[in-house]
Amino acid sequence: MIPSKKDLAYHSLIERVLTLDLKPGSALDEVALSTEYNLSRTPMREVFQRLAGAGYVIIESNRGASVSSMDLETMRGFFQTAPMIYAAVARLAAELATDAQIRELKKIQARFKKAVKNNTATDMAMHNHRFHEYMGVMAASPYLAPGLGRLLIDHTRMAQRFYRVSHSKSDKRIELACDQHDQMIDALANHHASVAVELTLAHWELSRSEMDKYVLPDPLPVVEPADRVATVAEGSWR
C-alpha cells in the first residue's frame, strides 16, 4: 500500500523532531511546511493534530503549532516517570513475548549494532528508539503505550548527545548499552520478567547521567577564597 502524502509528512516530521532538525519549542511554519510537503493547509493541519495527539507537537489557540518543549518542568516529569514506565513495559513484554516478536526485536537490534559499528549517532538514537518502542508493542498495554511513546520522544532527542562519542568513556557506555540490549532480548525470550526489569533499569541508569548533561548547563568554575581576594583587589570580581 502506497502511503498518502499526509502519512509521508507525518513520519518525516516525527523523524525531524527526534533528530533535532526541528528544535524543541520551535514554531512550525504551516505555510512553509505545506509547500515543502505539497499539501494544502487543511491536510497539513490534520498532520499537526495527529502529531499533537502523539506528543510531538503542541497546538495553542492563536499561536499555532510548535515542537513539544524540553523545558525544566517537562524534564523533571521525564526523569521522575521514565524508570517506572520502562520497568512496567519490560515486565509485561517478558510475560507476553512471542517467538515472532523476539525475531523482530533481534532484527531491530542488528540495525542498532550496525549503527554502533559505523559510529553514526543519529542512527544509533533512532534504532534505540525503535528497540524500546517495539518493547512497548510486545507489552501490548493500552495504558502504558501513550506514556511510553511520550517518554521516547524526549529520550531519543536527548540520546543524540549520549551517542556522540567524544572519548573512550562514552565509547564504553555505548558498548555496554548494546550488550544490555542483547541481554534484554534473552530475558524477554525466556520470559524472565524480573531479569528484564533489572536490565531495563540498569540500561536507564547508564544513559541517565549523560542525559542530565543535555538538560543542565555546565557548572561554573569554582573560585577559591584566595582567588576571590586577588580578583577583588584587581577590581575584576563582582
Tell me, yes or no, whether 134 lies in a domain. Answer: yes
Tell me, yes or no, whether 225 lies in a domain. Answer: no
- Residue 212's pLDDT is 63
Q: What is the DSSP letter of 222?
A: P
50 and 102 assigned to the same domain: no
Q: Where is the domain boundary, 67, 95, 112? A: 67
- Residue 62's pLDDT is 80
3's grid cell: 502511503
Helix (H) or strand (E) holding 209: helix 193-215
51 and 104 assigned to the same domain: no
- Residue 156's pLDDT is 94
51 and 118 assigned to the same domain: no
120 and 140 assigned to the same domain: yes
- Residue 163's pLDDT is 80
Tell me, yes or no, whether 227 lies in a domain. Answer: no
Short-list 131, 174, 171, 156, CA closest to 214: 156
161 and 61 assigned to the same domain: no
Distances (CA, A) of 27 to 41, 67, 194, 216: 16, 6, 43, 23
Compute the distance between CA of residue 171 and CA of residue 158 in angstroms, rounded to an integer: 17
45 and 132 assigned to the same domain: no
Most distant CA pair in the chain, distance: 75
Structural domain of residue 126, as residue ranges?
72-215
Q: Where is the domain boundary, 51, 67, 83? A: 67
Short-list 42, 55, 41, 75, CA closest to 13: 55
* CATH code of the domain covering residue 198: 1.20.120.530
Q: What is the DSSP letter of 217?
A: P
26 and 93 assigned to the same domain: no
- Residue 29's pLDDT is 94
* CATH code of the domain covering residue 61: 1.10.10.10
97 and 34 assigned to the same domain: no
91 and 206 assigned to the same domain: yes
57 and 84 assigned to the same domain: no
79 and 62 assigned to the same domain: no
- Residue 165's pLDDT is 60
What is the tens place of the pLDDT at every residue in 154-192?
999 988 877 876 555 667 888 999 999 999 999 999 999
**DSSP string computed for 132-190:** HHHHHHHHT-TTHHHHHHHHHHHHHHHHHHHTS--SHHHHHHHHHHHHHHHHHHHHHHT
23 and 112 assigned to the same domain: no
- Name the amino acid, one letter, at 228: R
CA angle, 71 as apex, 66 and 73 as ends, to 5°? Answer: 120
Centroid of chain to Cα 139: 19
How many other C-beta atoms are found inside a 10 Å radius of the C-beta of residue 142? Answer: 6
Tell me, yes or no, whether 20 lies in a domain. Answer: yes
Name residues of the chain where pLDDT drops below 50.
Answer: 216-224, 226-238
3-state percent breakdown (helix, strand, coil) of the chain, nearest 5: 70, 5, 25
Q: How many domains does the chain have?
A: 2
Q: At what angle do helices 193-215 and 72-96 cross, to 10 degrees?
A: 160
Tell me, yes or no, whether 221 lies in a domain. Answer: no
Q: Are 19 and 125 in contact (CB under 8 A)?
A: yes
